[in-house]
Amino acid sequence: MLFRVLLARLLTIAALACALPAAAQPNAKRAKGPDPDEAILAAHAAWRAGDAARLARIAAALDGHPLAPYVEYWQLALRLSDAQPEDVGAFLARHAGSYLADRLRGEWLKELGRRGDWPRFERELGPLVQDDLEIRCYAWRARLARGDATVAAEAREIWEEPRDLPEACQLLAGELLRARLVDREAPWRRVRLLLANEQLQAARRAFAWLPAGEAPDERTFSIAATAPQRLIAQPTRDFARRAAREMALFALARFARADLEGAAAALGGDFGRRLPEADRRYGWGLVAHLAARRQHPQALDWYRRAEGAALTDDQLAWKARAALRALDWQAVRVAVDAMSAATRREPVWSYWYGRALAAQGATDGARAYFLRHAGEPHFYGILAAEELGYIPAPPEPFHVPAEEEVAAAARNPGLARALALYRLGLRGEAAREWAFSVRALADEELLAAAELARRHELYDRAINTAERTVHRHNFRLRYLAPFAETLRERGREYGLEEAWLLGLVRQESRFVVNARSSAGAQGLMQLMPATASWVARRIGLAGYHAGRVNEPETNIALGTRYLKFVLDELGHPVLALAAYNAGPGRARRWRDARPLEGAIYVETIPFKETRDYVKKVMANTMYYAQLYGGRVVPLKERLGTVPARNPAERVNEELP
């Protein structure tokens, strides 16, 4: 390991030396001064603190450092609100085509938008690479300012954003309404969307867009939000007013979160009868959506009562999932048919639509749907191929980059800067620099960059970069196996398949030793501190303390043993993965009253994160098994059948 670290540092230095002109390389005299890397870290800290004076003092000593452009960028970013166009233009010209130039250009465009300097904004917009909703809204405002009414159609997405909008988009919405370029229903549709997504403050802001006198009063809104049953039990008699109906429906949705069956009873009773038919159907859509996400047995029945309502793609997806749990294949087809064209084309719904056709005897139609994604390197690509009678293998031959290709990647200035940033521990900046630098590379260049990352033990960058290839691939780079020996040893000790463990670690951390999630999970196998401590106590790990959780061997020992605990407790690999991600209690609750096909269990997991996690680990397992000599077993067989809930089962309440 020490040799690899030293080699990685030497390669970084060589790459930086190649990437810089000779005149820009630090001279021997400068080497005797303060450590340049420490100065970069100090400059970064000064920028984060907004200390322009300290940043200026540090910058004076960093001329010629490969990361000097970052210091220059940090200085300019701190004074961008007062910057002159000439200063910004000079930076963009000096660093044209770089990540930092694009980042500064985006921030400068926002500043120009705030200033309302539309001519300069439109001149600067063209070279921008990044996609940013706030900048798009400024661009639409610029066009609207010169009388371009076609903006209204393009900007339709701002009404469909399920969260609060940037200020630029708020201003654009107001301008479109005042110019009468959108219909009167648009604000109400947005209010409904925000309330359905629990974005209450954003909904309050959207009230300002409603026609004069139509906005809900604050008292009714507060009751609907905090005491919804009160509003439903004693609704206003003024249901002729749109605001009153919308607050009643909002109260219904809030009530359903606390008492789903009570909300359904109210909607089926006097409260629902007083609503207009269209609003009542909309209300059933809200209740059914929540019921499906909670795997309530009446969800599909409630969806049928919403027939005729304009359901969102997410509501329709959960209708399809409720139909899957009920094995109602016709209802699956009806739900998918009602989705938007883009959603219908997604692999998940192409696969399940094919399964629905096959279940109804339409084998030719089913085959056509399976062929759409069969063999693609993901969960449903594998399942679709298996429905056609084969297990997809990694595409060969693998393109192995030649040394000159890797050397060329090392000379890429953006990749060289990213390596330097990684070396200094500035992972966020490094990841963004790397992603920008590889965005337009050809397949061979991507694989060379992936190999460069692998040699520097930047396994996450290697995997993510190798995954971007379109025509030429190297699945051994996509599915790297560092720490395989340790995982193999622990797998043998606990009876866990090596390919499964590799698939899990790849998904959890991309083999980044010191990975840390926003929730606080740490290390290769992303253990929460409490879970790691619990396992350490159970297995009697001598000398364990929280500071050891990132040690690869310790993390793997604790993670594999915890996985063994949940597998023994739940008895099924799919349940074990769901438990590893979301907890054993939830994994149990997500079972059905009858046995479920494993793929249906996975697709109907209520948490998107956990649903995607289980799919990706199982797909990873398939490729690791084929690449590293494991058991080649069909994915559908691996998924198996998830047993029914058993109220009498004994549960280990101690298991975290």
Identify the residue with better confidence: 300 or 212.
Answer: 300
pLDDT above 80: residue 380: yes
pLDDT above 80: residue 15: no
**Nearest alpha-carbon partner for 107 in 87, 420, 94, 439:** 87
Q: Which pLDDT tens digit goes with each residue over 151-162?
A: 999 999 999 999
pLDDT above 50: residue 4: no
Q: Looking at residues 475-498, what average pLDDT do you find?
A: 97
Distance separating alpha carbons of residues 616 and 249, to the nearest angstrom: 37
- With a CB cutoff of 8 Å and minimum separation 6, the contacts of 481 are 502, 624, 627, 628
- With a CB cutoff of 8 Å and minimum separation 6, the contacts of 75 are 47, 52, 55, 56, 59
451-470 b/e (C-beta count within 10 Å ≥ 16 → b): bbbbbbbbbbbbbbbbebbe
pLDDT above 70: residue 19: no
- With a CB cutoff of 8 Å and minimum separation 6, the contacts of 191 are 203, 206, 207, 210, 246
Global pTM reads: 0.92
Distance separating alpha carbons of residues 459 and 444, to the nearest angstrom: 18
Distance separating alpha carbons of residues 98 and 101, to the nearest angstrom: 5
Distance of CA 272 to the CA centre of its chain: 38
pLDDT band at 32 (very low <50, low <70, confident <90, very high): low
pLDDT above 90: residue 652: no
Q: Which pLDDT tens digit goes with each residue over 165-204?
A: 999 999 999 999 999 999 989 999 999 999 999 999 999 9
Work out the number of other CB atoms within 10 angstroms of the CB of residue 176.
Answer: 23
Q: Looking at residues 101-106, what average pLDDT do you find?
A: 98
Lowest mean pLDDT, pick from 3-7, 104-108, 195-199, 648-652: 3-7
What are phi and psi for residue 527, nearest 5 degrees? Answer: -95, 135
151-175 b/e (C-beta count within 10 Å ≥ 16 → b): bbeebeebbebeebbbebbbebbeb
- With a CB cutoff of 8 Å and minimum separation 6, the contacts of 256 are 263, 264, 286, 287, 290
pLDDT above 60: residue 149: yes
Q: Looking at residues 437-453, what average pLDDT do you find?
A: 98
Q: What is the mean pLDDT of the chain?
A: 93
Would you call 474 helix, strand, or coil by DSSP? coil
Q: Return the pLDDT at 240.
A: 83
Task: Answer yes or no: are the C-beta atoms of 376 and 398 closer than 8 Å.
Answer: no
pLDDT above 90: residue 276: yes
Task: Answer yes or no: are the C-beta atoms of 108 and 124 closer than 8 Å.
Answer: yes
Task: Answer yes or no: are the C-beta atoms of 139 and 128 closer than 8 Å.
Answer: no
Q: Looking at residues 51-68, what average pLDDT do you find?
A: 90
Q: Which pLDDT tens digit goes with each residue over 280-324?
A: 999 999 999 999 999 999 999 999 999 999 999 999 999 999 999
Which CATH entry fits the domain spanning 484-642: 3.30.365.10, 1.10.530.10, 1.20.58.1910, 1.10.600.10? 1.10.530.10
Question: CATH for 2-137?
Answer: 1.25.20.10
**Nearest alpha-carbon partner for 452 in 98, 8, 10:** 8
pLDDT band at 647 (very low <50, low <70, confident <90, very high): confident
pLDDT band at 212 (very low <50, low <70, confident <90, very high): confident
Do 2-137 and 484-642 fold alike per CATH? Answer: no
pLDDT above 60: residue 28: no
Task: Answer yes or no: are the C-beta atoms of 128 and 161 closer than 8 Å.
Answer: no
Token digits of residue 480: 């790297």
Token digits of residue 113: 């938008």
Q: Which pLDDT tens digit goes with each residue over 384-436?
A: 999 999 999 999 999 999 999 999 999 999 999 999 999 999 999 999 999 99
Q: Return the pLDDT at 31.
A: 44
Q: Return the pLDDT at 235.
A: 67
- With a CB cutoff of 8 Å and minimum separation 6, the contacts of 394 are 377, 473, 475, 479, 623, 626, 627
Instruction: Report domain extents, the chain.
Output: 2-137, 484-642
Catalytic annotation, residues: 508
Distance separating alpha carbons of residues 457 and 515, to the nearest angstrom: 13
Amino acid identity for residue 265 in this structure = A
Task: Answer yes or no: are the C-beta atoms of 381 and 400 closer than 8 Å.
Answer: no
Q: Return the pLDDT at 234.
A: 79
Q: Return the pLDDT at 654.
A: 81
What are phi and psi for residue 597, nearest 5 degrees? Answer: -55, 135
Strand boundaries in 132-270, DSSP class E: none
DSSP single-letter state for residue 524: T
Q: Return the pLDDT at 530.
A: 95
Q: Return the pLDDT at 30.
A: 41
Angle (CA) 279-280-282 rounded to 5° is 60
The rounded radius of gyration (Å) of the Cα atoms in the chain is 28
**Nearest alpha-carbon partner for 351 in 334, 329, 371:** 371
Element (DSSP H or E) covering residue 381? helix 379-387
- With a CB cutoff of 8 Å and minimum separation 6, the contacts of 349 are 317, 320, 336, 339, 343
